[in-house]
Amino acid sequence: MSTIDSPAIGTATINAVSVDCPAKTNLTLHVGPSHAEWGGRHELDTIYCAVGVYDTVTATRKAPGSGFSLNLEGAYLGDLASSGSDMRRNHAVLALFAMAEASGHEPDVALNIDKRIPVGAGMAGGSTDAAAVLRALNVLTGANFSAEQLRALALTVGSDVPYCVTGG
């Protein structure tokens, strides 16, 4: 589904990983009842289809204890929140913290997102960015989670994030 661009994995430490992830559209969508056990999220019956518009997410290792940062660039940012308080609600940041918790690594990572998927267009731009973060951190941290493990982790971030991780 997405393309990962990173240095060859061997004995060298990988310091940055870039992932291109495509937008998606819903060919069909039926929203079912909400479920309390899913945090109030709704059951969905849908068919997704990837489209040829991509965001690029680059995750770069930072010094231990320095925390995370998020940089957004691109022509289609719309009204995407950039304040510190809203940053933690960004799907990419949610994915960063989900992966940090699941892998046992600190979230000392700089995320750069080159947005080409228009914000608010219903094309899963936030979800695909979250999926790209999970895939990038899987390589950057050496977590080596399987596709199934990444999809399960992705589901904690959003209902369409697992699709964005691996396609289908």
Q: Where in the sequence numbering do the catalytic residues fall?
A: 24, 160
Distance from C-alpha of 118 to C-alpha of 77, rounded to nearest angstrom: 7
Sign of CA dihedral 39, 41, 42, 45: negative
Check: CB of residue 80 under 8 Å from CB of residue 121. no
Instruction: Give which of 130, 151, 123 is closest to 57, Cα–Cα.
Output: 130
- The rounded distance, in Å, linking the Cα atoms of 145 and 46 is 26
